[in-house]
Every structure is written in structure tokens, then in C-alpha cells.
Amino acid sequence: MDASTEAENLDQKIMDQMELIRKEIEESVPLLSHKEDIASLAKEYPPDDAIYQGKIRSLYSSYRWIRRTRRDGNCFYRAFGISLMEMLKQNPDEYHRVYKVIEESKDRLIELGYQAFIIEDFHQTVLTLLKNVRKDDCTNDELVEWFNDRDLSNYFVVYFRLLTSAHLKTNAEFFENFIDGYQSVKDFCSYEVEPIGKESDHIHAIALTGFLNTAIEIVYLNHTDDDLSKHRFPEHSAPQFTLLYRPGHYDVLYK
Amino acid sequence: MSTPARRRLMRDFKKLQEDPPAGVSGAPTEDNILIWNAVIFGPHDTPFEDGTFKLTIRFTEDYPNKPPAVRFVSKMFHPNVYADGGICLDILQNRWSPTYDVSAILTSIQSLLDEPNPNSPANSLAAQLYQQNKREYEKKVSAIVEESWMNE
């Protein structure tokens, strides 16, 4: 008997299984939550987990609210996205600056070899979002709603992944030193940045903030350090918004 | 009805017609733009040379956020192709990015023909022969190349 007839389409089975898990998560958690009291974090960890409970208490002194994101591998971009839009809504100068960066980014991507007809829809979606942000009657709830529309939200994620890639590729000489296990920055982007659902790390945050010339702070909540550690991107900048990082996941923090 | 997926597929098709990559072709079926037929010609100087391999590509309304399901219709003998024609290729699974279009998908599968990845075998016999008995492997491939000319 031909061995190939015995081979089962395992990939398909794994994909189906993952799709099932994805659907379960989808039904239970929105892509972006409304603001919740920061105290809700404490309930996620055992009361006797001294490290986490201690660190969460020290969060209370600086932050009041948390906005949660779905754990679908795109959380960094959605957390970044809603925070960026909320900030731009308050800050007309930054709004005009960032709008221009985004508007012109399409040409930069084309220069880097991306095909115009492919990036067009993603670019347009982000520009439309930005135009909505400037409208006087645009509320934060509407922005949250926008980011919970799966199609729009995913197009946003795709485009911001491309911007992250663009910054890495444009500064390849520098980033080559930080891409363990990959031959080139181009490879790194095609495996670790551009695929939908790939989780983000330090290097992604450096690249995206670098492209947009924005400043953010990420607060790290983990078991490894004694105190809450905070990192600013770029270093020594005045952060325009704050994200909370727990291993493998990003949410948004508000004062 | 025009949806983002359908608009994008129309553009993929336009691109494929205006700038056709060597050795692959594809087009939507007449009554459903979400289902495409495609042909990959076996690359020169490979055991697959002269083969004309038919495939189907099934998209969903989630395209391009989700990859399409691509399957060989013609019989295939290859380490990364399942008995049912399903293809084990990272860009169609966990490495999918909406920046891939139909043209990129087909040329990637074409490259896969001569650059199999024996570490993730979908056809264990093909993987084994590819690594241990190239002559027998090429004989089996020749057989499916000839078979691909039937049912033209």
C-alpha cells in the first residue's frame, strides 16, 4: 500500500483544532475591553502569590484603569492602536504629525518592495480611522467599537505590522544584531513580524515607536524581578501612553 | 456583492494577468470568485519538469486575513503533499501574511516542488525516498508527471 495514502492531513487537523480554540476565545473575550478598574488584575492571581500581588498593589499608585485585549497574538498592535488614537484625539499637533507619517508611509512601503495593490486597503483603513478620530463627535466608545470590528481591526493590525517591518528593514544594519536565529532582518520580518497572530517583543516595540516617532512606556509584570520594571521606548522619552506587559501579552494602562 | 475579500481577489487576478509569473497560472471559476483553478508547471531541470499540475484554491470572506485552502487536484508525489492533495507549506499555515497574493502563493508552491522540506513530511514514503533513494524518488515523480498529462 502506498505510504502516502496512510498519511493523514495532520496540518489540517491542527489548523482545525486551533480554529476551534480561537473561536472559543473569540466568544468569551472582546478584541478590546472597556476600561476596567485596575483592581480587577489582582483577582487573576492567587492571593498568596506575594510577588504578583505586591507588584499589582504598586501599580495602583500610578494607574487606575486597565483596558484588556484578546490574547490572539495581535494584542500589542491593538493595545498600541487604541492608545495611539486616544492620545491623538487629545493632541492636535501630534495628530497632524502622525497623520502625515501614516499618509506618506504607503510610498515608503512601496519603496521597500511591497506591492501597492496589496497594501492599499490596509493603508486606506488606517487613514479612515484617523479621519474619524479628528471628528468632534468621535467618542472613546466609538474607537473601542471600531477596534472590536474584526475586519477593520485586523486591517489595522496588518498595516501596523508592515510599519514595524518597514522600520526594521530601513534600519537593518542596526537591527541585525538583535535577530537571533535569523539570517537577515528580511527573514525576521517575514517570520516574526508580518504573519498575522505572531506575538510581539521588545524589538517590535522599538521598531513601531521608531517608525511613528512616538514615545511609549511598557510596564512589565512578571515573576522575575523584585519590583515592577518599566521600559521607555525610546529610552529617556516622555511617554505618550502606557502598556502593561505580562509574559506573552499586552494590555493598556491608564492613570 | 463586493466585499473586501472579493475586491482584493479581483486585484490579485488583474495582477496575475498583467504580470504573469513564469510557470504558473490561475483564474477564478466562472460562478464563484472565491474558488480558483490553477496550474503549476513543473520547474525546468527538476524531476517535475514537463508536469502540468492542477490545483484548486478556496478562499473565504476572511481573505486576505486568512490564507486560502490550496490543494493539488492532479496526483502528486512530494514529501510535503498529503495523499488528498493538501499542501504542507508554512506560508499557507502559521506564517501566513496578508501581503501574499495568489501570484506569491503559486510561485511558493512551485519552488516547494524542487525544495521539499523533509523535516515536516506529509508523505512519509516520498520523504524517505527523497533522502535515501533519489533514483526511486525521481521514478515515482516521473510517473505522476506523465499522469498529469492525462485528463487534459
Looking at the structure of chain B, the number of domains it has is 1
Q: Does A121 touch chain B (CB under 8 A)?
A: yes
- Mean predicted confidence (pLDDT) in A95-118: 96
Enumerate residues 42 to 71 of chain B having a beta carbon within 8 A of any beta carbon in chain A: 64-66
Which chain A residues are within 8 Å of B122, Cβ to Cβ? 7, 9-11
**Residue A231, CA atoms < 13 Å, CB-side half-sphere:** 13
Judge whether residue A15 has pLDDT over 80: no
In chain A, which residue's Cα lies nearest the Cα of B123? A4
Judge whether residue A117 has pLDDT over 70: yes
Q: Report pLDDT for A7.
A: 47
SS3 A65: strand
Q: Encode burial over A113-140: b for 16+ CB neighbours within 10 A, e otherwise.
A: ebbeebbebbbebbbebbeebeeeebee
Shortest alpha-carbon distance between residue A88 and chain B (Å): 27
Q: Which has the minimum average pLDDT: A4-13, A245-254, B58-67, B117-126?
A: A4-13
Question: What domain range includes position B113?
Answer: 4-150
What is the pLDDT of chain B when averaged over all its residues?
Answer: 93
Q: Report pLDDT for A32.
A: 95
* Yes or no, beta carbons of A4 and B95 under 8 Å apart: no
Asked if residue B105 lies in contact with residue B118, where contact means CB atoms within 8 angstroms, the answer is no
The answer to ipTM > 0.90 is: no
Q: Report pLDDT for B151.
A: 64
The model's pTM is 0.89
Judge whether residue A28 has pLDDT over 80: no
Asked if residue A57 lies in contact with residue A22, where contact means CB atoms within 8 angstroms, the answer is no
Judge whether residue A1 has pLDDT over 70: no
C-alpha triplet A32, A36, A38: angle, nearest 5°: 120
SS3 A122: helix
pLDDT over 70, % of chain B: 98
CATH of the domain at B25: 3.10.110.10
Asked if residue B137 lies in contact with residue B130, where contact means CB atoms within 8 angstroms, the answer is yes
Asked if residue A74 lies in contact with residue A197, where contact means CB atoms within 8 angstroms, the answer is yes
Shortest alpha-carbon distance between residue A4 and chain B (Å): 5
Interface test with A, best of B75, B81, B99 (most A CBs within 10 A): B99
For residue A210, give Cα distances in angstroms to A28, A110, A191. Answer: 34, 19, 20
Residue recorded with cell 493595545: A79
Judge whether residue A102 has pLDDT over 50: yes
Judge whether residue A6 has pLDDT over 50: no
Q: Which domains does chain A have, with CATH numbers?
A: 32-254 (1.20.1300.20)
Shortest alpha-carbon distance between residue A24 and chain B (Å): 18
Interface test with A, best of B76, B81, B97, B108 (most A CBs within 10 A): B97
Q: Does A50 touch chain B (CB under 8 A)?
A: no
Cell readout for B81 is: 503533499
Q: Report pLDDT for A3.
A: 43
Which chain A residues are within 8 Å of B14, Cβ to Cβ? 117
